[in-house]
Amino acid sequence: MEFLKKLNGWVYQVERFIVVSSLLVMSLVMFLAVLHRSYADEDSVLFGKIAKVLGAERDDATWVSMQGVADWAVPLGLVILVYLGFRTASRRPLWHDGKAKPGATRAEIHGEPLPRLKCLIYTIGTSLAAWGLMVLLFGTGSVEQAECIELDLANQTNLACGLFPAGLQWAASFSLVLMLWVSFLGASMATHENLHLKLEAANRALPERLRRITGLIAGILTACFCLLLAYLGYRFCAVKYDEWALSDHLGALHDSTPIPFWASFMIVPAAWLLMAVRFVGEGVLAFRGELNEVLPELRELEKQKESVVS
Amino acid sequence: MSGSKLPHSAVLSPRKRASVFGSVCVFAFVLLLAASALADGGGQNGPVLSLGAGLAVLFATLSLAVVLGMPLFVIIGLIATSCFLFLSEDFNGFLTLDRLSDTGAEMMTKDVLLAIPFFVASGAIMSAGGIARRLVDVARALVGWMPGGLAIAAVGACVIFAAISGSSPVTVIAIGSMMYPRLVDAGYEKRFSLGLVTAGGSLGILIPPSIPMLVYAIVAGGSQPIDVAELFLAGVLPGLMIGVLLAFLAPFNAKNVERERFEFKVVVERVRDGIWALSLPAVILGGIYTGVFTPTEAAAISVIYSLIVELLIHRDIGPQDIPKILTDSVVSMGTILIIMLLAFGLNAFLVEEMIPQKVVAWILDKDLTPVTFLLIVNLFLLLVGALMDSISAILIIAPLLAPIGVELGIDPIHLGIIFIVNLEIGYLTPPIGINLFVSASVFRQPLGEVTRGVVPFIGMMLIGLVAVTYIPTIALGPVNKIMREKDFYEPFPEAREVHVMLEDEDSDEDVVGEQFKPPAEAVIGPTGERVKTLAEIMAEEDAKEEAEEKAAAAKATAADDEDDEDDEDDESDEGETEGEPKPVIGRPKGKSLIPDDPDED
């Protein structure tokens, strides 16, 4: 039993690592995709909208002049934001441990703002670095995008094109694949912590001894249902694998990515299987009366209370 | 250890009776609707069991699952699988269940889904830092001078915090634990203060970005796609209105309370401190409604924004806190998503069997107008909200009620907001109201005391609910103005004569599945939106044909670029609503545009 618990804990840590890094990658990729769109698009959507509010039609004089304003106003706005960021930033050490001395006032924790001159220097440095990063990623814009894509296809590199001359069109599909993994692993982790939403109102009304038995039965039945879903997931993957193999690895792919469906959906049967095992474990814990039954929203508070008591 | 027992021991007795009754009621209602609908039609091709036997099996399984306290996904999954296995008309043995995987896989291709983990994560990151204190400070500096100023500030802080965190219980914990002691110290009555922070916290799901709204948009969009951006926008005014209604009680309870002094210098200082937290909702909503990014992208941006703000500017958390915060949000995301997957399967079954249409026909037989329908929906949802968690309630009920609303001429966005307001009240009503438990536990007060405290606030919220329900302009006005280019005023839907099912029963539209759209009378109200989507497809199709007829070389590249831009954006693209030409509806060509159902033999 102890070994099983430990093994469960290890698996949980692996899941946690995958899930946290995937979530960060997902948001970064989506963020870069939006960034590329605004960077590569010659027209500013925001200023186009402002022009429209002013009553201008697309491509008429006001609209064009507003776009002219956007060319310098947007970068300037961003630079001002960075300056404000430095000016209002807390003076706590950057990678501090997150805790402050009890009883410290705000001023003691966060300190005086940086001097203006320093902020200005930092702002210029940061803005230049950010611009350099954009050029590195998406090119300078001096070479036509189509040309860059041709060069890319011919396996030649041109520094002016950047790493992703065509942007990150695959961002959404790629993030969806990661989300599939994140959410199924998340569901499996929720089983580990007994955090699944339950309709347990009726069950709670039963006497304690009976509840232990129903807990065991519920765990086992839930596990059976998970197995059914794992099997359905496996069948889905098998069908998609056949499609992929028959189409010479060109079909059954996610939109604008080379990732085949079967590979991304593999997590579905795997996670249901893992959940099935964990639900059996949960049933056993319920039978032994060791299940953590505090409402999810209150777990953190309970932990704090316990730590205060101890 | 005794602390951990508190929530249960305190609640067991009131929970006991009402919950059993309630859970059964909710399912019984869903089943009854299905039964009454299936009783008139279908069945010729032979479901594997007769209707009565099928429902008996279903009901027995469900009662067992409920009594055993099984997870919600199992219960919804059981409904879905048994519907497919026992009640589906084209039964194909065990293989019938493959449809469940197909609908699940189909759901996983919806971009909007991505917004859920992103918004949950960004809310968690922001809340983990000290933004609650910053927001409270700003609110106090701004409104503290008014009569009842501190209480109004509490509501204001709740509104903004809710917009950032998107979670009701978190708002109660963060803002409540800061404001409750101050309110009591300042001389407000204990019970009033408890009620105020508990009720204020529940605003979280109504003010965008809100997770229940995303869930609603995904699961209720079966018969007519729902634009998340519109739903978010529709929540703003009702949210503010209910905020004002809650704050309205403050001056009457502030007789012995000293007011704070208004100092412009303090306001500037505190706004400066809180500016990064205050501007997150502005960035998200501003970005979405100026068209700079879609709601999904906004969610991703808010994660990066909150990471930068919390780690580099506020520095209230360190990088070592990030894994824990993200794990928590992923776990809650995982539990919701698997339920959604299975609910989506159930949704597909309902649409395929045309159950909403059948229920509508049944409702029209009973001479229900939109007014009475909405009244019944409100009463039903208040009951459900008292007995179930809000997301679960949306997952189970929205797929059924939303198409019915559409058939009766009620805008799905309007219905969505009605849903959310009801379930928001559900956060405050015993026996399941989660905010009550959180409050009771955080402020160490008996549950009864908290419940009594929220009663006047529930009253105010009910006033808000009636207003939101029967004055559609409150929800739809901004949507009309900003997204649909229509008049701000939205009339209440009139009762109309619809005989959907009699006309359509013999056609093969049930196999067309969720793309089914009755082409008739599709000009006004919510259906206007739906037709435009279809119309847009048609218009594009026409444009393509014309383009093919012309010489390819002569084709202007500029127009092409525009098309590409439109294609890149996801379904929330506001281009749909912007003055597209309306082609004639109902011509024979329209049918061929409806994608084939994958299961059609």
**Per-residue pLDDT reduced to its tens digit, A53-104:** 888 787 788 888 888 888 888 889 999 999 999 988 888 887 777 677 777 7
Where does residue B525 fall: left (phi above 0), alpha (psi -120 to 50 degrees), or beta otherwise? left
Taking CB atoms and an 8 Å limit, are B441 and A298 in contact across chains?
yes
Q: How far apart are alpha carbons A136 and A20 in whole angstroms?
A: 27
B516's tokens: 């089914």
Residue B530 has pLDDT above 60, yes or no: no
* Residues linked to residue B71 through DSSP beta bridges, in sequence order: A198
Closest partner residue to B315 among A34, A96, A200, by Cβ?
A96
Q: What angle, 0 to 180 degrees and rounded to 10, lies between the N-to-C axes of helices B228-248 and B264-289?
A: 150
Q: Which chain B residue shows the shortest CA-CA distance from A190?
A: B331
Query: What pLDDT score does B38 carry?
Result: 56
Among residues 134-163 of chain A, which lie with CB inside 8 Å of chain B? none
pLDDT, tens digit, for every residue of B113-169?
Answer: 888 899 989 988 988 888 888 899 999 999 988 888 999 999 999 988 988 887 888
Q: How far apart are alpha carbons B11 and B511 in whole angstroms?
A: 48
Query: What pLDDT score does A305 carry?
Result: 73
Among residues 98-117 of chain A, which lie with CB inside 8 Å of chain B? 98, 106, 110
Does A159 or B598 have the greater pLDDT score? A159
Closest partner residue to B20 among A201, A239, A296, by Cβ?
A201
Does B26 or A33 have the greater pLDDT score? A33
Q: How far apart are alpha carbons B288 and B424 in whole angstroms?
A: 24
pLDDT, tens digit, for every residue of B223-235?
Answer: 678 889 999 999 9
Q: Which chain A residue shows the shortest CA-CA distance from B63?
A: A202
Q: How far apart are alpha carbons A128 and B326 in whole angstroms?
A: 31
- Residue range A273-286: mean pLDDT, rounded: 92
A to B CB pairs, distance under 8 Å: 263
How near does any CA of chain B get to the CA of A290, in Å?
13
Closest partner residue to B331 among A88, A190, A233, by Cβ?
A190
For residue A261, the Cα-to-chain-centroid distance in whole angstroms is 20
How near does any CA of chain B get to the CA of A294, in Å?
7
Percent pLDDT > 90 in chain A is: 38
Residue B246 has pLDDT above 50, yes or no: yes
- Residue range A239-256: mean pLDDT, rounded: 87
Using a CB-CB distance cutoff of 8 angstroms, which residues of chain B are in contact with residue A215?
69
> Worst-scoring range by mean pLDDT, B32-41, B254-263, B296-305, B392-401?
B32-41
Taking CB atoms and an 8 Å limit, are B315 and A33 in contact across chains?
no
Among residues 189-218 of chain A, which lie with CB inside 8 Å of chain B? 189-190, 193, 195-206, 211, 214-215, 217-218
How near does any CA of chain B get to the CA of A120, in Å?
16
* Burial letters B390-406, b for 16+ CB under 10 A, else e: bbbbbbbbbbbbbbbbb
Residue B10 has pLDDT above 50, yes or no: no
B347's tokens: 């949704």
List, in order, residues 6 or more apart from B25 with CB less than 8 Å away. B383, B387
How near does any CA of chain B get to the CA of A156, in Å?
26
Q: Which chain B residue shows the shortest CA-CA distance from A18?
A: B327
Taking CB atoms and an 8 Å limit, are B4 and A202 in contact across chains?
no
Residue B520 has pLDDT above 90, yes or no: no
Taking CB atoms and an 8 Å limit, are A85 and B68 in contact across chains?
no
Cα–Cα nearest to B62, from B15, B13, B88, B25: B25
- Residue range B175-201: mean pLDDT, rounded: 90
Residue B295 has pLDDT above 70, yes or no: yes
pTM to 2 decimal places: 0.79
Taking CB atoms and an 8 Å limit, are B300 and A27 in contact across chains?
yes
| Element spanning B485, H or E | none
Is the bond leading into B431 cis (omega within 30 degrees of zero)?
A: yes
Instruction: Identify the residue among A17, A26, A27 best suited for mutation to test binding to B, counting B beta carbons within 10 A and taking the highest.
Output: A27
Give residue A273's pLDDT band: very low, low, confident or very high (50, 70, 90): very high
Give residue B365's pLDDT band: very low, low, confident or very high (50, 70, 90): confident
pLDDT, tens digit, for every residue of B399-422?
Answer: 888 888 888 888 999 999 999 999
Query: What pLDDT score does B534 carry?
Result: 53
Using a CB-CB distance cutoff of 8 angstroms, which residues of chain A are in contact with residue B438?
297-298
Query: What pLDDT score does B104 carry?
Result: 83
Give residue A192's pLDDT band: very low, low, confident or very high (50, 70, 90): confident
B592 class by beta-carbon count within 10 Å (0-12 exposed, 13-18 middle, 19+ buried): exposed
Q: How far apart are alpha carbons A217 and A296 in whole angstroms?
A: 22
How near does any CA of chain B get to the CA of A189, in Å?
6
DSSP summary character for residue A297: G
DSSP summary character for residue A156: -
